[in-house]
Amino acid sequence: MRIALLTDTYPPFINGVSTSCYNLVQTLKKHGNEVLVITPRHNDGPLEFKDGIIYVPGIELKKLYGYRITSLYSPKVFKMIRDFHPEVIHNQTDSTIGQFAKIVASKLGVPIVYTYHTSYEDYTYYATHGYFDRLAKRIIRSYTINVADTTTEFITPSYKTKEYLRYAGSDIYINIIPTGINFDLFGDDKVDAPKQEVFKKEHGIGPDTKVFLILGRVAKEKSMDFSLKCFALYHERHLEQDIKMILVGGGPQLAELKELVKNLEIEHLVDFIGPVMASEVPFYYHIADIYTSASVTETQGLTFMEAMASKTLVLARFDTNLADTIIDNETGFFFQDEEDFIHKVERIFAMKASELDHIKEAAIKICEVYSLEKFYSRIMEVYNRAIRKFW
């Protein structure tokens, strides 16, 4: 099958959508399908075609994670897609590239499959700064319903998103397909022990240090400030304990979080690593004892599953979206507030090694539902159904 996939983010850009698209492309190719990726360049430069990817020039939106906005239509790119003869257009975004995807599908008369990755209502403050936010959310709901109604097949990675769409008023059929994960990247055999030792020495991590990890886009909706406040309070209650927080990622809230850490008087306990390449991410999971996140805006939460695949304990703020993956006290741990965070960390550090191993093994087992093979078979069912609608 020939699939044209359009996305506003793709490696080397690092986020959940980028990872999801990359995993999809790799597993499609592995099974003999042809894939053409259309995505904005991650830097300045002209239109470029390389290794099955069309890199479209665009203008960087510095205040929005460095995303790039492209023109709505490019005759040259359209011709390249037309010459590829796609059987399916798979749109992964609502940006200008996403609007272009709709135009291409219409002009070529082929089905368009849309994957809804992001709950845009959680991001309205970037545009409104708190003004007319309620109106902005209503507009987004109307837009989302329109997008759902005008696609051949609609995909979302979680039940949480499906519930949102029903709340918004959409009654279309929704395919729930969790993003597949390449678990081979997170296995114990990928641990670089010498590199770990160097890192630990550089960051003051001793044999008895308990390491917490926050990893992801450093932005308001990720609630990293809440995680840091929880960590600071735990430190205040357990001054005798040797702990360290590693924060990996970049984004618009980075300076604010550094100031927060200073005000919380935990600068000596928190190391900001900055953004890293996707290939480096597993290294940090294996460094940590606990991966923690307070975000409740995830449509799926790939980082939680990546941590679990790395046999790193997960401590997440409760979100219905995670309830099927993180089973409290069985495959990971949930916390509700700062006090609950402290209680759960105390419990984790008091557990026997055999109890922790049991939780890690249970986490690995439950993650099997997110294998690339299952991901592939579910996606192909949707593609084939979309094509049949155009017979």
**pLDDT single digits (tens) 237-273:** 999 999 999 999 988 899 999 999 999 999 999 999 9
* Tokens linked to 314: 């997960």
Please, which contacts does 187-191 make with residues 24 or more away whose CB atoms are closer than 8 Å? Answer: 187/309, 188/311, 190/282, 190/286, 191/286
Q: Give the predicted TM-score (pTM) of the model.
A: 0.82
Collapsing DSSP to helix, strand or coil, 3 comes out as strand
Cα dihedral sign, 183-185-190-192:
negative
16 or 199: which leads in pLDDT: 199
Listed in order, strand segments (DSSP E) in 121-269 are 153-156, 174-176, 210-215, 243-248
Q: How far is 391 from 386, CA to CA, in rounded Å?
A: 9
Q: How far is 59 from 295, CA to CA, in rounded Å?
A: 29
Fold of the domain built from segment(s) 2-180+371-388: Rossmann fold (3.40.50)
Q: Tokens 């793709």 correspond to what residue? A: 10
Burial (CB < 10 A; 0-12, 13-18, 19+), residue 377, is: middle
pLDDT one-digit tens code per residue, 316-328: 999 877 877 899 9
Q: How far is 104 from 82, CA to CA, in rounded Å?
A: 8
Q: How many CA atoms lie within 13 A of 280 on its CB side?
A: 14
Domain with CATH 3.40.50.2000 in the chain: 2-180+371-388, 183-369
pLDDT at 281 over 80: yes
Q: How far is 289 from 273, CA to CA, in rounded Å?
A: 17
Q: What is the pLDDT of residue 369?
A: 81
- Class of CATH domain 183-369: alpha beta
Task: Say which range, 114-128, 280-294, 367-381, has the weakest mean pLDDT.
Answer: 114-128
pLDDT band at 119 (very low <50, low <70, confident <90, very high): low
pLDDT one-digit tens code per residue, 138-176: 766 676 777 777 899 999 888 877 887 788 788 889 999
- What mean pLDDT value characterizes the chain? 89
pLDDT at 133 over 70: no
pLDDT at 37 over 80: yes
Q: How many CA atoms lie within 13 A of 304 on its CB side?
A: 31
pLDDT one-digit tens code per residue, 171-216: 889 999 988 888 888 988 888 899 999 999 999 999 999 999 999 8
pLDDT one-digit tens code per residue, 66-86: 568 888 899 999 999 999 999
